[in-house]
């Protein structure tokens, strides 16, 4: 007997309740606090802020907790909240040369003005699970060099630029106009400002794979990690009412300048070129991936050949956003039985026709 | 608005969720779409609190045209009670508080995914479609830069070749839903993944039809009484799905779009109306199909 497909509303309510109880886990285990997440899962926070395009550690922690640690879901929560926020204006571009640097390394020079500063890093550690790690034990106090305020740390690319070995920074737009793909629909071809914005919001895994592909010969870009720096920068806003810049806060950024060998083309002289990566928080993997992909996407302006997916801006930009991608992939869970019925009808007809044809041929052969 | 309805605290979200600036931007895109039937208008789709691919385009169009006096109906696969239809209805109940209905005739706005109601719509109604891939040429040419050019030049040879190849290879045009249509003799348009059964309903429909694709950031429209012609060939005319000798098991309707319901693991199945409101209305009027309890009662 046919049971009418009713009760969707009640089923959804119950599914949500069940989910909430799954989120909490066993009641005798203490619930996660926001401080625990912001203090002890900082890389998770940074990823959610970066791909969620909103610098707010507390909000990112709330999203991670609500999403039960599903990063893309947490990013989605932050994005959906972000769109509802009023927009007062755009900040003055941040100056990463004046960053309060916590970490700064260059793979291109042994030593350089400002020095190499390892800072906090996973690098060089043995990836052994630490069975002895006591979450309650106080962390060792890091040794401090005499807290001499480090001298100025010019960017490596500026050092190379001084003698013409490095392509210069791109010129500012004469009216300071920068595209914003959250406000205007994307159209192709896209300029580098939009490409960088897209990459900065893009999925770390997707960019990592694309960047990796460029290293394996799909659009080879001959990269050197010219410089990676991480630290805090001041954000200022030009207030029309008072007529001057007001510092409104400080954010943590990771910046990567890839230096790429370039033998010159009809469009540009032989010199080092660059790929650029900039992300919220501490995320070197993402910043480096972004820089490699940015460089690969610049093939046209540098007069290179286009041969690989990482160079194809329509392919890269249309598929980098994990909120769009996961939504569309997962929408296949929605009912599609109307379309399926239509296909079933067609396949049945074609199946029958094919079977009839086979029978005809068999009869014909038997007759011969 | 009277003074009584003004409250000291601002509501957390604007009426129908979107802020008024965003609604204005969307309305402009809709107006442009109406002015150029079948043309895909790019718009700055917002991130919505539901996933892309789950109706964000339709939801933004509905939010932009919804007024406090509207009566909203939301269907998915023809039914008001499918999970995503329920979720979208809840969204508007929560953010706009407008009246909801399941009755096609009572609704001023109908948001739909994959179906057009069986009952003819009127000039006082708006039908809003959720669209996943607005570009009818997308599976033939993945590049947006190319497809926009093809539309600009009305260069639709590729589509005709595809349909021809279907016939040459399979004996039929092997497209059963999202069947491409020509709008007012100018733009080839994707009718959204509605079955081709519904294509003829789009032709010269009295109601305004709006199409929203959130992830792809496109809006397009069919003003009332627009020519919408399914692509075909003279010797292979367009035809819709048919279920010969089939009636709805619940209401006895014929010549409607059916859902096939599997009853057991021995191949028994039955067909019921995909449009649940149409089916229930018929039952209420006393029409019963062979699986309906009343039908068996009458046979006694």
pLDDT tens track for A34-61 = 999 999 999 999 999 999 999 999 999 9
Do strands B99-100 and A223-239 pair parallel, antiparallel, or not at all (unpaired)? unpaired
In terms of domains, do A107 and A24 share one?
Answer: no
Decide if A259 is inside a domain: yes
Residue (of B44, B29, B56, B20) closest to A183 by Cα position: B44
Angstrom distances, CA of residue B218 to CA of B33, B56, B60, B134, B270: 10, 11, 11, 7, 38
Which residues from chain B sit within 8 angstroms of residue A326, using beta carbons? 51
Q: What are B35's two structure tokens?
A: 């002015």
pLDDT tops 50 at residue A2: no
- Residues B32 and B41: beta-carbon distance below 8 Å: yes
**Cut 0.90: pTM above it:** no
Q: What is the pLDDT of residue A32?
A: 94
Cα angle B212-A318-B193, degrees, rounded to a multiple of 5: 35
B54/chain A closest Cα distance in angstroms:
6
In terms of domains, do A157 and A248 share one?
Answer: yes
Decide if A316 is inside a domain: yes
Average pLDDT over residues B56-72: 97
Active-site residue list of B = 38, 248, 251, 273, 279
Percent of chain A with pLDDT over 90: 51
In terms of domains, do A283 and A200 share one?
Answer: yes
Decide if A5 and B177 are in contact by the 8 Å CB cutoff: no
For an interface test with B, the pick among A1, A6, A7, A8 (most B C-beta atoms closer than 10 Å) comes out as A8
Say whether B284 sits in a helix, a strand or coil.
helix
Residues ≥6 apart with Cβ < 8 Å to B266: none
Decide if A306 is inside a domain: yes
Decide if A24 is inside a domain: yes
pLDDT tops 90 at residue A137: no
Interchain CB contact of B52 with A (< 8 Å)? yes
Angstrom distances, CA of residue A263 to CA of A32, A266, A310, B144: 54, 10, 20, 32
Decide if A329 is inside a domain: no
- Residues A39 and A13: beta-carbon distance below 8 Å: no
Interchain CB contact of B241 with A (< 8 Å)? yes
Average pLDDT over residues B287-297: 87
In terms of domains, do A275 and A306 share one?
Answer: yes
Residues ≥6 apart with Cβ < 8 Å to B211: B33, B57, B61, B128, B129, B131, B134, B192, B218, B219, B220, B221, B222
Average pLDDT over residues A219-237: 92
Chain A residue with CA closest to B171: the answer is A350
pLDDT tops 60 at residue B2: no
pLDDT tens for each residue of A234-275: 999 998 888 999 999 999 999 999 998 888 787 778 888 999
Q: What are A331's two structure tokens?
A: 């929408």
Decide if A5 and B79 are in contact by the 8 Å CB cutoff: yes
Angstrom distances, CA of residue B124 to CA of B31, B37, B92, B121: 17, 19, 20, 8
Q: What is the pLDDT of residue A70?
A: 97
Angstrom distances, CA of residue B288 to CA of A5, A347, B248, B281, B299: 18, 30, 8, 11, 11
Chain B residue with CA closest to A328: the answer is B53
In terms of domains, do A14 and A70 share one?
Answer: yes
In terms of domains, do A77 and A101 share one?
Answer: no
Interchain CB contact of B143 with A (< 8 Å)? yes
Of the partner residues A7, A324, A338, the one whose CB lies closest to the CB of residue B52:
A324
Say whether A224 sits in a helix, a strand or coil.
strand
Decide if A6 and B43 are in contact by the 8 Å CB cutoff: no
pLDDT tens for each residue of A263-320: 878 777 888 899 999 999 999 999 999 999 999 999 998 888 999 999 999 999 999 9
Interface of B with A in 253-292 (CB under 8 A): 257-261, 263, 270, 272, 274, 276, 291
pLDDT tens for each residue of A163-209: 778 888 787 777 778 889 988 888 899 999 999 999 999 999 999 99
In terms of domains, do A308 and A161 share one?
Answer: yes
Inter-chain CB pairs, A–B, below 8 Å: 142
Percent of chain B with pLDDT over 90: 83
Q: What range defines the domain where residue A59 resides? A: 8-82
In terms of domains, do A107 and A50 share one?
Answer: no
Decide if A342 and B176 are in contact by the 8 Å CB cutoff: yes
Q: What is the pLDDT of residue A169?
A: 79
Q: What is the pLDDT of residue A175?
A: 77
Please provide the average confidence, as pLDDT, over all residues in chain A: 89
B161/chain A closest Cα distance in angstroms:
20
Average pLDDT over residues B168-174: 88
Please provide the average confidence, as pLDDT, over all residues in chain B: 92
Instruction: Note whether ipTM > 0.90 here.
Output: no
A329/chain B closest Cα distance in angstroms:
8
pLDDT tops 70 at residue A7: no
Distance CA B38, CA A208 (A): 39
Decide if A84 and B87 are in contact by the 8 Å CB cutoff: no
Neighbours of A71 (CB within 10 A): 19
**What is the four-CA torsion angle of B246, B249, B250, B255, rounded to 10 degrees?**
-10
Decide if B53 and A331 are in contact by the 8 Å CB cutoff: yes
Cα B276 versus chain centre, distance: 15
Decide if A89 is inside a domain: no
- Residues B159 and B188: beta-carbon distance below 8 Å: yes
Of the partner residues B49, B143, B241, the one whose CB lies closest to the CB of residue A314:
B143
Of B193 and A87, the structure prediction assigns the larger pLDDT to B193
In terms of domains, do A63 and A38 share one?
Answer: yes
Chain A residue with CA closest to B75: the answer is A335
Distance CA B81, CA B276 (A): 9
In terms of domains, do A68 and A159 share one?
Answer: no
pLDDT tens for each residue of B211-245: 999 999 999 999 999 999 999 999 999 999 989 89
Q: How far apart are the first and last CA of chain A?
A: 51
Local confidence band at A150 (pLDDT 50, 70, 90 cut-offs): low
Maximum average pLDDT range among A136-150, B62-76, B158-172: B62-76
Interchain CB contact of A130 with B (< 8 Å)? no
Decide if A140 is inside a domain: no
Decide if A134 is inside a domain: no
A227/chain B closest Cα distance in angstroms:
34
Neighbours of A352 (CB within 10 A): 10
Angstrom distances, CA of residue B67 to CA of A343, B23, B62, B172: 38, 12, 10, 45
Average pLDDT over residues B18-29: 94
Interface of A with B in 263-292 (CB under 8 A): none
Say whether A247 sits in a helix, a strand or coil.
strand
Distance CA B131, CA B178 (A): 10
Q: How many residues appear in chain B?
A: 300
For an interface test with B, the pick among A330, A338, A355 (most B C-beta atoms closer than 10 Å) comes out as A338
Of the partner residues A2, A11, A328, the one whose CB lies closest to the CB of residue B272:
A2
Average pLDDT over residues B51-66: 96
Total number of domains in chain A: 2
| Helix extents (H) in chain A | 8-24, 34-40, 42-52, 57-66, 71-82, 156-161, 192-201, 204-215, 284-297, 313-319, 322-330, 337-367
Residue (of A261, A257, A71, A288) closest to A153 by Cα position: A257
In terms of domains, do A214 and A77 share one?
Answer: no
Local confidence band at B7 (pLDDT 50, 70, 90 cut-offs): low
Say whether A191 sits in a helix, a strand or coil.
coil
Name which of A258-262, A327-331, B281-285 the model is least confident about.
A258-262
Q: Token pair 């989120």 is at which residue?
A: A23
Decide if B291 and A82 are in contact by the 8 Å CB cutoff: no
Residue (of A299, A317, A280) closest to A220 by Cα position: A299
Which residues from chain B sit within 8 angstroms of residue A80, using beta carbons? 47-49
Say whether A12 sits in a helix, a strand or coil.
helix
Interchain CB contact of B203 with A (< 8 Å)? no
Decide if B177 and A342 are in contact by the 8 Å CB cutoff: yes
Residues ≥6 apart with Cβ < 8 Å to A354: none
In terms of domains, do A69 and A158 share one?
Answer: no
């Amino acid at each position: 007997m046919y049971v009418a497909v009713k009760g969707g509303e009640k089923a959804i309510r119950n599914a949500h309740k069940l989910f909430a109880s799954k989120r909490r886990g066993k009641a005798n285990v203490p619930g996660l606090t926001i401080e625990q997440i912001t203090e002890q899962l900082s890389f998770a926070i940074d990823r959610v802020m970066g791909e969620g395009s909103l610098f707010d550690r507390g909000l990112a922690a709330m999203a991670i907790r609500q999403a039960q640690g599903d990063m893309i879901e947490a990013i989605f929560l932050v994005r959906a909240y972000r769109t509802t926020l009023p927009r007062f204006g755009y900040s003055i571009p941040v100056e990463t040369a004046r960053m309060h640097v916590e970490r700064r390394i260059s793979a291109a020079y042994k030593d350089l003005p400002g020095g190499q500063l390892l800072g906090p890093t996973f690098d060089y550690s043995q990836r052994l699970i630490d069975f002895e790690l006591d979450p309650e034990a106080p962390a060792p106090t890091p040794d401090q060099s005499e807290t001499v305020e480090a001298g100025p740390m010019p960017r490596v690319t500026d050092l190379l630029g001084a003698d013409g070995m490095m392509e210069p920074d791109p010129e500012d737009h004469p009216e300071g106009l920068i595209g914003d793909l959250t406000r205007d629909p994307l159209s192709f071809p896209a300029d580098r400002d939009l490409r960088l914005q897209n990459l900065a919001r893009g999925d770390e895994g997707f960019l990592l794979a694309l960047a990796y592909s460029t290293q394996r010969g799909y659009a080879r870009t001959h990269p050197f990690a010219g410089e990676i720096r991480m630290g805090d920068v001041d954000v200022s806003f030009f207030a029309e009412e008072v007529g001057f810049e007001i510092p409104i806060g400080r954010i943590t950024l990771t910046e990567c300048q890839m230096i790429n060998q370039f033998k010159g083309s009809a469009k540009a002289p032989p010199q080092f070129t660059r790929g650029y990566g900039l992300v919220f928080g501490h995320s070197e993997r993402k910043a480096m991936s972004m820089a490699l992909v940015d460089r690969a996407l610049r093939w046209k302006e540098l007069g290179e050949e286009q041969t690989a997916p990482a160079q194809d801006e329509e392919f890269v930009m249309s598929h980098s956003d994990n909120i769009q991608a996961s939504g569309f992939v997962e929408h296949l869970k929605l009912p599609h039985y109307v379309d399926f019925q239509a296909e079933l009808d067609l396949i049945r007809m074609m199946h029958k026709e094919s079977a009839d044809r086979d029978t005809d041929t068999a009869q014909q052969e038997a007759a011969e | 608005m009277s003074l009584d309805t003004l409250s000291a605290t601002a509501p957390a979200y604007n009426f129908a969720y979107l802020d008024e600036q965003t609604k204005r931007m969307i309305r402009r895109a809709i107006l442009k779409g109406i002015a150029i039937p079948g043309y895909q208008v790019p718009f700055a789709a917002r991130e919505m609190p539901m996933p892309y691919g789950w109706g964000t385009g339709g939801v933004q169009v509905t939010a932009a045209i919804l007024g406090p006096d509207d009566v909203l109906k939301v269907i998915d696969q023809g039914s008001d009670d499918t999970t995503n239809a329920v979720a979208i209805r809840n969204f508007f109940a929560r953010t706009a508080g407008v009246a909801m209905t399941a009755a096609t005739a009572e609704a001023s706005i109908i948001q739909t995914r994959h179906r057009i109601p069986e009952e003819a719509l009127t000039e006082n109604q708006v039908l809003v479609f959720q669209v996943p891939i607005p570009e009818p040429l997308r599976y033939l040419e993945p590049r947006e830069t190319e497809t926009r050019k093809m539309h600009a030049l009305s260069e639709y040879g590729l589509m005709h070749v595809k349909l021809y190849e279907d016939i040459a290879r399979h004996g039929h045009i092997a497209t059963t839903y999202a069947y491409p249509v020509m709008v007012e003799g100018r733009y080839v348009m994707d009718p959204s993944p509605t079955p081709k059964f519904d294509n003829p309903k789009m032709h010269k429909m009295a109601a305004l039809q709006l199409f929203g694709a959130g992830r792809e950031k496109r809006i397009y429209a069919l003003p009332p009484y627009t020519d919408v012609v399914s692509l075909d060939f003279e010797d292979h005319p367009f035809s819709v799905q048919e279920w010969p000798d089939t009636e709805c098991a619940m209401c006895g309707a014929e010549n409607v779009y059916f859902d096939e319901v599997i009853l057991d693991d021995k191949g028994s199945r039955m067909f019921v109306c995909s449009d649940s409101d149409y089916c229930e209305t018929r039952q209420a009027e006393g029409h019963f199909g062979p699986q309906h309890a009343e039908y068996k009662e009458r046979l006694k």
